[in-house]
A = this chain, B = another copy of it.
């Protein structure tokens, strides 16, 4: 039985693509029931079309309130078959959701943010990190609560940041890891191995072989620390 998933996008949807790819490779036991975009003409929708996935463009500007928009999304997602056993995965979805949405999918909404939270929440995580002058940047998959980029953390990946690098240099380095950790987090959810206790997300051990760790080398592109460790296939 595959995990029913709805993916919310606002832009190019490269994290949507990484989820699609892992599903098509047979390592992620999920089925995308619906792709929702709150913007028209974005490439995320194009990706859904190319892979014959159901999609819906829902412009938040068409709704009178955040709550009305969220309720409409809830209805569309439930109708698409993502009910009590499904997951909602935000993938570059540029809107805060309200309690209307979170109550409908309690403990079942994930997001990925391109920073090591609680550092650098918001829309410019990579550039903010580079501007701050961190030596280690990264990304975070977390369950969603009503604060931005704030809910319980599932997995994080750390990558080097060099002096003088800006957000444009840093972003693709982080994105490479995003494309590995998000499908992994969703697979753990599909295997029912995640337990939320307060702010802590526990991963049940399953004895899966770990993926080969990034090579230790002087090149920043080859370094990373991922925790919990990625498993084979991710």
A contacts, CB < 8 Å to B:
116-120, 131-136, 138, 140, 152-161, 163-164, 197-203, 210, 212-214, 216, 218, 220, 223-225, 227-229
Chain copies in complex: 2
A161 contacts across to B, CB distance below 8 A: 227
**Contact partner of A216 among B136, B156, B158, B213, CB < 8 A?**
B213
Q: CA A46 – CA B115 in complex, angstroms?
A: 41
A224 contacts across to B, CB distance below 8 A: 225
Q: Are A135 and B160 interface neighbours, CB within 8 A?
A: no
Q: Are B133 and A155 interface neighbours, CB within 8 A?
A: no
Q: If the complex has contacts A133-B198, A158-B158, A227-B135, are A116 and B118 also in contact, measured as CB distance less than 8 A?
A: no
Q: Are A225 and B158 interface neighbours, CB within 8 A?
A: yes
Q: Are A133 and B153 interface neighbours, CB within 8 A?
A: yes
Q: CA A132 – CA B155 in complex, angstroms?
A: 13
Q: Are B228 and A135 interface neighbours, CB within 8 A?
A: yes
Q: If the complex has contacts A158-B225, A218-B210, are A201 and B136 also in contact, measured as CB distance less than 8 A?
A: no
Q: Are B134 and A116 interface neighbours, CB within 8 A?
A: yes
Closest chain-B Cβ to A144's Cβ sits at a distance in Å of: 14
- Complex A-B: 25 CB contacts under 8 Å: A116-B116, A116-B134, A117-B119, A118-B119, A132-B153, A132-B199, A133-B200, A133-B201, A135-B153, A135-B154, A135-B227, A136-B156, A136-B225, A138-B158, A158-B225, A160-B228, A163-B200, A164-B197, A164-B200, A164-B202, A212-B216, A213-B216, A214-B216, A223-B225, A223-B227
Closest chain-B Cβ to A182's Cβ sits at a distance in Å of: 14
Q: CA A132 – CA B140 in complex, angstroms?
A: 13
A155 contacts across to B, CB distance below 8 A: 135
A131 contacts across to B, CB distance below 8 A: 199
**Contact partner of A163 among B136, B156, B203, B218, CB < 8 A?**
B203
Closest chain-B Cβ to A127's Cβ sits at a distance in Å of: 13
**Contact partner of A225 among B133, B197, B201, B225, CB < 8 A?**
B225
